[in-house]
Amino acid sequence: MSSDTARPRAAVVGLGARARLFTQALAGPYADRFELAGFCDVNPHRMAVHNTWLAEHHPGRTPVPTYLAEDFDEMLRRERIDLVVVCSVDRTHDHYIVRALEAGCDVVTEKPMTTDADKARRILDAQRRTGRDVRVAFNYRYNPVHSAVRELVASGEIGEVGSVHFEWLLDLRHGADYFRRWHRDKVNSGGLMVHKATHHFDLVNWWLGTRPESVYAQGGLFFYGDEAGRRRGLARDYHRAHGSPAAGSDPFAVHLADSPLLSALYLNAEAHDGYHRDQNVFAPGVTIEDDMAVLVRYATGATLTYHLTAYSPWEGYRIAFNGSAGRLELLVEESTWTRPRMPTNGSDPVLHGAEADDTAGRTELLLRRFWEKPREIEVATGEGGHGGGDVRMLQDLFGTRAPDPLHRAADATDGARSLVTGLAANHSFETGLPVRTGDLLEF
């Protein structure tokens, strides 16, 4: 930690959409605790956009110094960085986490912590070697309804948990978004078993207080991609929507020019890196799955049956815990239906989770103890992104840390424990066989 300033100095790597949560927090409510002192990205335009946003919210503020990716180490040195927040493309997380730890910094990384077992081992080794902190931004742990589930399970209300049944649906807006940009290539994201399900596998590890031991999975590309799109007559003939007449009638197209936010962050930044945020979900090149079924066995003996679908008419999840004294059921409808095209009123057409969806429906947590009438558990829904999880997580990451009986702070081991279920599922997709997680990653 630098000695000549009272406030630790923070840098953010990867100045895309998600980074905004962190840049605004560090320059806003947590500015008295941290100095936002560096931006690093392959794309100078996106860093400039974040500086413009900061200036809009904080007139007179000096722009944050910007560094290109190859100058990351120099940024750490020159700006005397103490904390690095990693929000770049998933496949690059390990590089920045390890370099930052070796330079003596603490790290907050977006999920997934990384995308394969070798990278996870490098992170775990670097963390142990340096003794610095790695926090994984599992914001779903901070959603009040998920905290209530943890409390109920830990309190023994349903006894010992024998099994969990968990279905997560991504709607045609949010689910499709993973097929429009870098996530569609498994090398970048690890596929949805890693990129998306890492949240869900982490929740189950945390709720049950255990770790996965074996995984069997089946998954495939059922709906998106060129072959399925052609077969069902859904595919239009274009590569990316912007400037393509064929995209005009495609309900799956995202039109960057309709949104000031997406134009600023992506369309106007393309000259620097050719990143197209609006690719055709039915164009060739998709190497990830959109329909995945997973069976996990945990160290406690509990099992999980999990299903992730990325082409659903509504978005949300159903979870049931079967216990030796009863059953706990959760239903969350994050969106009840999907609009074919977002209004062109400047609202964001695709970015998910920044705020509650205006098509959101019920949240219902039901406790069904043996021999008793079902009891609905009232939970105050949180304001802000991800059911209020984002705001609470920021407080835990950057605010005064209070003792947390729920143990919501996730470290590198939690990141690896969640990752390994997804990696094992990916492996099982390929081989058709069950996978022992210890054969992939020991922790």
Ligand X SMILES: NC(=O)c1ccc[n+]([C@@H]2O[C@H](COP(=O)([O-])OP(=O)(O)OC[C@H]3O[C@@H](n4cnc5c(N)ncnc54)[C@H](O)[C@@H]3O)[C@@H](O)[C@H]2O)c1
Binding site for ligand X (CB under 6 A): 13-19, 41-43, 46, 69, 87-90, 92, 110-111, 137, 139, 195, 353, 386
Nearer to ligand X, 175 or 353 (CB): 353
The closest alpha carbon to 240, from 275, 265, 213, 198, belongs to 275
**Please, which residue, 17 or 416, has the CB nearer to ligand X?**
17
CB of 153 to ligand X, least distance (A): 23
- The residue among 43 and 214 lying less far from ligand X, judged by its C-beta, is 43
Rounded to an integer, what distance in angstroms lies between the CA atom of residue 187 and that of residue 47? 24
CB of 325 to ligand X, least distance (A): 33
The residue among 25 and 87 lying less far from ligand X, judged by its C-beta, is 87
- Min dist CB 403 to ligand X, Å, is 24
Cα–Cα distances in angstroms (integers) from residue 194 to residues 37, 217, 324, in the given order = 31, 13, 31
| Least separation in angstroms between CB 181 and ligand X | 6
What Cα–Cα distance (Å) separates residue 196 from each residue in 177, 301, 339, 389? 12, 25, 22, 16
CB of 44 vs ligand X, minimal distance in Å? 10
What do you get for the CA distance between the two ends of the chain, in Å?
28
Nearest approach in angstroms of CB 90 to ligand X is 5
Identify the CA nearest to 282 among candidates 213, 336, 349, 231. 231
Q: What token pair was written down for 302?
A: 């509990």
E-strand spans in 97-148? 106-109, 134-136
Task: Write the CB contacts of 16 (distance below 8 Å, at least 6 apart in sequence).
Answer: 41, 46, 87, 88, 265
Nearest approach, Cβ of 15 to ligand X (angstroms)? Answer: 5
Query: Contact, 389 vs 141, CB < 8 A?
Result: yes
Distance separating alpha carbons of residues 193 and 356, to the nearest angstrom? 24
Q: Which is nearer to ligand X, 18 or 165 (CB)?
A: 18
Residue nearest to ligand X (CB): 16
Looking only at the bridges linking them, the beta strands covering 161-171 and 315-323 are antiparallel
| Sheet of strand 9-13: strand arrangement | 66-68, 35-41, 9-13, 83-86, 106-109, 134-136
Nearer to ligand X, 117 or 435 (CB): 117
Nearer to ligand X, 87 or 203 (CB): 87
Output 354 or 377, the one with its CB closest to ligand X.
354
Nearer to ligand X, 16 or 316 (CB): 16
Shortest reach from residue 151's CB to ligand X, in Å: 22
* Token pair listed for 56: 């809009």
Across 21-122, the runs of DSSP E, i.e. the strands, are 35-41, 66-68, 83-86, 106-109
Is residue 218 within a helix (H) or strand (E), and if so which, with residue range?
A: strand 212-220
Residue type, 201: F
Q: Rounded to the nearest whole angstrom, what is the least distance from the CB of residue 399 to ligand X in the complex?
A: 18
Query: What residues pair up with 134 in beta bridges, in sequence order?
Result: 107
Report d(CA 413, CA 420) in Å as an integer.
Answer: 10
In the complex, the smallest distance separating the C-beta of residue 60 from ligand X, rounded to whole angstroms, is 26
Q: Which is nearer to ligand X, 34 or 182 (CB)?
A: 182
Q: Virtual CA dihedral for 202, 203, 204, 206, nearest 10 degrees?
A: 80
